[in-house]
């Protein structure tokens, strides 16, 4: 018996579906919005910060491009439409500042997020993402955080990154004096530390901020710290605290690479897909600040590196503001 028109259509649809399943998936296309100048050290040793980010995030077959946001170079909307995701880097500038390039970056961040693109913000980028989506950022009352910090994931992070089986503490390199003050509407906190209430946050599946520097290594951090010290932006004791922090713990770059890649490449399950309740961002933030989250309670009693934390508190804060012109991405 021959096939009728409907049978032919069904067969063609099945063949098309089978061909699509057999075909290799399209490699992603990503852009780094670089918000600071390359330091001479990083340029000579690594080929620039763009190469440092690619080492953390890039996988075979992907297309990556860098835009110098700090110089006013940003993709037009038609060009931005061709990317699957964006990474906003650190900077020597303040995310709450009103320099023209910062305002342009905030505006672009809003547009690409509204267009459904994934945006990963790192340090300054974390704060820019918060600002663009309706949150508030500003100076930390606790001053500089420089060195390896112990990050405590919230219960929401444990759900979101369930396939990675997150540990109760996630060491990462930090270099900042600003922080998220208030999360954007609908966002949820994903991690905290002793000095910073919002170390990570997300808004749905398309925006995630990380206050630390998963891309940094010790030599990169210390080259920036030494340069800031020479320009009197930080104190000798703060540099010593940063060095000492590496004696307490090492940053877990492999874990952070998986976390950042998992988000940027869209591999994470939503809480709805996992059948678990999603948390309110502000509720998670309040629990983190009070040390009452389920995951946070499990952290108590672990080695926290008290000596560096105490030393940092004694150092206090120094010199605010824009460190521009000294080549850093803090």
Residues with catalytic function: 123, 213, 215
**How many Cβ atoms sit within 10 Å of the Cβ of residue 303?**
9
Is 222 in a helix, a strand, or coil?
helix
**CB contact burial 195-217 (16+ within 10 A = b; e otherwise):** bbbbbbbbbeebbbbbbbbbbbb
| Residue 12 exposed, middle or buried by CB count within 10 Å (0-12, 13-18, 19+) | exposed
- Beta-bridged to residue 180, according to DSSP, are 137
- Report the alpha-carbon distance of residue 213 to residue 251 in Å, rounded: 10
**Phi, psi at 18, each rounded to 5°:** -65, -40
Q: Find tokens 């040793």 and name the residue.
A: 45
Angle of the 253-264 helix axis to the 49-57 helix axis, nearest 10: 80
**How many Cβ atoms sit within 10 Å of the Cβ of residue 254?**
9
In 3-state terms the chain splits into helix, strand, coil percentages (rounded to 5) of 40, 20, 40
Q: Find tokens 């061909």 and name the residue.
A: 19
């Amino acid at each position: 018996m021959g096939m009728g028109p409907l049978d032919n259509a069904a067969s063609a649809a099945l063949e098309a579906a089978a061909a699509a399943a057999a075909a290799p998936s399209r490699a992603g296309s990503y852009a780094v919005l670089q918000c600071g100048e390359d330091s001479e050290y990083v340029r000579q040793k690594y080929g620039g910060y763009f190469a440092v980010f690619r080492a953390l995030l890039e996988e075979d077959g992907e297309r990556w491009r860098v835009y110098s946001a700090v110089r006013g170079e940003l993709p037009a909307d038609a060009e931005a439409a061709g990317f699957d995701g964006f990474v906003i880097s650190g900077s020597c500038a303040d995310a709450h500042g009103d320099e023209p390039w910062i305002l342009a970056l905030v505006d672009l961040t809003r547009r690409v997020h509204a267009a459904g693109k994934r945006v990963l913000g790192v340090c300054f980028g974390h704060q820019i993402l918060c600002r663009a989506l309706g949150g508030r950022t500003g100076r930390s009352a606790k001053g500089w955080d420089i060195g390896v910090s112990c990050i405590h994931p919230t219960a929401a992070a444990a759900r979101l990154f369930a396939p990675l089986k997150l540990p109760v503490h996630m060491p990462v390199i930090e270099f900042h004096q600003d922080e998220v003050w208030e999360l954007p509407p609908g966002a949820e906190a994903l991690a905290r530390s002793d000095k910073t209430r919002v170390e990570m946050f997300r808004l749905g599946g398309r925006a995630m901020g990380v206050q630390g520097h998963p891309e940094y290594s010790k030599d990169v951090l210390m080259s920036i710290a030494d340069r800031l010290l020479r320009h009197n932006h930080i104190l000798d004791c703060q540099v010593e605290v940063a060095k000492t922090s590496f004696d307490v713990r090492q940053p877990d770059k492999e874990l952070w690479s998986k976390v950042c890649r998992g988000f940027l490449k869209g591999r994470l399950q939503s809480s709805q897909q996992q059948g678990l309740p999603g948390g309110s961002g502000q509720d998670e933030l309040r629990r983190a600040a009070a040390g009452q989250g389920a995951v946070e309670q499990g952290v108590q009693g672990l080695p926290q590196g008290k000596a560096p934390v105490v030393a940092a508190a004694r150092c206090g804060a120094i010199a605010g503001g824009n460190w521009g012109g000294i080549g850093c991405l803090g």
